[in-house]
Amino acid sequence: MERIKATAEFLRKKTAFTPDAGIILGSGLGGLVKSIDVKYSFDYSEIPNFPVSTVEGHDGRLIFGFLDGKKVVAMQGRFHYYEGYTMLQVVFPIRVMKMLGITHLFLSNAAGGLNSSFKVGDLMIIKDHINMFPDNPLKGKNIEELGTRFPEMGEAYSRDLIEKAKNIAEQNGIKYHTGVYVGSSGPTLETPAEYRMFHILGADSTGMSTVPEVIAARHMGLTCFGISVITNLAVFDEGEVGTSHDEVQNAAGEAEPKMTLIFRELIKTL
C-alpha cells in the first residue's frame, strides 16, 4: 500500500491531473494513443516502483491526457505474468490509477478465437472471464483500504457499458461478437487439447492478460469494459498449423482502428 501511495503521489505531483478513466492497450493495440491530446507521458522506467515492460510490441508508457475532452490515463503496454512479474506487480499500475482517481477501466487484448464463428481480425466484447492463471492478485492479506476480502465477480464487466458498446458498433457498421475470455499464464500458446478444453469450458477467446487486472479493478470497485481482438484462431486438430507472434501482431494492427472507435465513443458517454 505504501508503494502504491508513493507512486500515485509522484504522478500527482508531476501532473496535477485527475483522470476519470484508465485504459490498458494490449499487444499491437496502442493506436488509441494517437487520438489522445497528451499532457504528460512517462516511460515506465521513470516511474518509481513500476516494473519495466520487456515484450516486443509493448511500448511501456503511461500517458495522461484528454480523449475527446475526457481525462484519461493510458497504459501503452502492460505487465504480463509470463514475463516473470508477480501478480502484485501485474496489477500495481491499476491500483495506482485508482489512487489517481479513475472510476472506469477499459482494457484491450490480443486473443486467440475459440468460437468457430470467429474470424481473424474480429472484435469480441468481453462479457465475462475465466481465471486459469495459477494465481490471483488478491491472494494474501487483504488490503482493506482497497476493497473487501471476498469481492463479488457477478458483473466483472459492466452490462451497461456492454450494451452501449454494442450500440456503438452497430451504428458504425462494426462487426462484433460478445463472449467469455479465458486468461492463462502463457507464454506458450495452447496445445490443440488445451484449446479444445477452453472451448468446452465455455470460453470464446483466450489470452495471457486482462483477468488479473479486472480482478484487482473489481476489488477496488472500478467499472470495467474489455475487448478482445481476435488475432488467430484456435487450432483444434493436431494436424493444423499454429500461429506465429508476427501474425498476432499484424492482425492486431488491422483490427485496432475498430476497437479504438468503440473505446472512444464509449468514453465520450462517461
Closer residue to ligand HPA in complex, CB, 60/113: 113
**Chain positions contacting ligand HPA, by CB under 6 A:** 110-112, 186, 189-190, 206-208, 231-232, 248
Q: What is the CA angle 124-126-132, rounded to 5?
A: 115
Smallest gap, in angstroms, from Cβ of residue 231 to ligand HPA?
A: 5
Amino acid of residue 91: V
φ and ψ at 69, to 5 degrees? 85, -10
Rg (CA), the chain: 17
Smallest gap, in angstroms, from Cβ of residue 87 to ligand HPA?
A: 18
Alpha helix locations (H) across the chain? 2-15, 87-100, 159-171, 192-200, 211-219, 245-268
Smallest gap, in angstroms, from Cβ of residue 219 to ligand HPA?
A: 24
Q: For residue 248, give the C-alpha cell.
A: 498476432
Closer residue to ligand HPA in complex, CB, 182/220: 182
| 67 alpha carbon, distance to own chain's centre | 18
Catalytic sites, residue numbers:
27, 58, 80, 82-83, 110, 208-209, 232, 245
Tell how strand 123-131 and strand 177-183 pair up.
Answer: parallel
Return the SS3 of 113: strand
Smallest gap, in angstroms, from Cβ of residue 243 to ligand HPA?
A: 6
Q: Give the residue closest to ligand HPA by C-beta.
A: 112
Closer residue to ligand HPA in complex, CB, 108/206: 206
Closer residue to ligand HPA in complex, CB, 57/151: 57
Kindly write down the DSSP assignment for every residue of 207-224, as one continuous string: ESSSHHHHHHHHHTT-EE
